[in-house]
Amino acid sequence: MSSLGETRIPDFYDNLLDGYYFKEIVRTVLDISGYMVFPYGFESAFSYIKIQLHKGDTKDTPVSRKIRSSPDLLVYDETEKDVKLVEVKSRNWDIETDVVIGKIDRYKKYWEGSILTVIVPHGHWFYAQYVDELEVKESRSYNLRDEFEKFENIFTKVHIDTLYRFKSTIAEKMGKDKDHAHYFPEKKQNWELFFFPELLRLVKSNKGKTKNRLFEILNRNELVSMKLFYESLEKLVENRKIRKSNKKFYPL
């Protein structure tokens, strides 16, 4: 019998566990936001069969390809009486404009109308898009900013602060420094050098906008808490870096 130190978990199961982790984050976000969420992938009644398929222990047939590409979650919106199928992917990439994603052709072929969710530790961190809207590319490279939507634009019950709650958790899981300005410019220790200058540029480029509009513009390419953003704007006003008039903000 091998000792515990000699026991090695196959890469397949390592990847499987990582997939569970990020899928659970998405499931939790949706559940908190008022959606009903059910397993549709590995945790479903066919989980054993699906694991064998992903390990390559079965024949490669149209049926097996459809099962292998089956989405992870079934999401029910009781208010809209609408059902969505959601596939969750994560990529440990430091840029969101060139992300490799495979099997788009299979999702489009077998799961028309499903939604692909991608988590990356940069930009808005949470992205989603209907597979019908995605182009099948030989390069498999996608610009999440341009070709995907912000997650909360697809799942409109989700508040951005709910997503922000999981930002540190994702960074830790992906081995990112939770204090590094590249990932967390909004952290207090990064305010002076990174976040405040970014807000000043934002106000200068969008003078006369309300805080809600400025927040919307910033979070096209960032993931920042609404509460933190509003507090930071007011701090800049107090420090006479920008001015506020009739609930609109202007550069000095």
CA dihedral in degrees (140, 110, 135, 39; nearest 10)?
-70
pLDDT computed for residue 18 by the predictor: 64
Averaged pLDDT, 195-219? 96
The whole model's pTM is what?
Answer: 0.85
What's the whole-number average pLDDT of the chain? 88
**Residue 156 CB partners (closer than 8 Å, separation 6+):** none
Domain boundaries, the chain: 4-167, 185-251
**Top-ranked range on mean pLDDT: pick from 34-43, 180-189, 224-233:** 224-233
The secondary structure of 189-237 as a DSSP string is GGIIIIIHHHHHHHHHHTTTEEHHHHHHHHTTS----HHHHHHHHHHHH
**Residue 30 CB partners (closer than 8 Å, separation 6+):** 37, 73, 75, 155, 158
pLDDT computed for residue 35 by the predictor: 98
The reply to whether 185-251 shares the fold of 4-167 is no
Dihedrals phi, psi of 250, to nearest 5 degrees: -140, 150
pLDDT computed for residue 182 by the predictor: 86
Secondary-structure class of domain 4-167 per CATH: alpha beta
pLDDT in tens, 122-145: 999 999 999 999 999 999 999 999
Q: Is the pLDDT of residue 101 over 80?
A: yes
Spatial separation of the C-alpha atoms in residues 38 and 73, rounded to whole Å: 6
Structure tokens at 154: 């697809």
| Domain with residues 185-251, CATH architecture | Orthogonal Bundle (1.10)
Q: What would you report as the CA-atom Rg of the chain, rounded to the nearest whole angstrom?
A: 21
Relative to beta strand 82-90, strand 115-119 is parallel
Closest alpha carbon to 87 in 135, 136, 27, 174:
27
**Is 67:95 a contact under the CB 8 Å cutoff?**
no
**Residue 220 CB partners (closer than 8 Å, separation 6+):** 124, 145, 150
**Is 21:173 a contact under the CB 8 Å cutoff?**
yes
pLDDT in tens, 70-86: 899 999 999 999 999 99
Spatial separation of the C-alpha atoms in residues 182 and 184, rounded to whole Å: 6
Q: Is the pLDDT of residue 181 over 90?
A: no
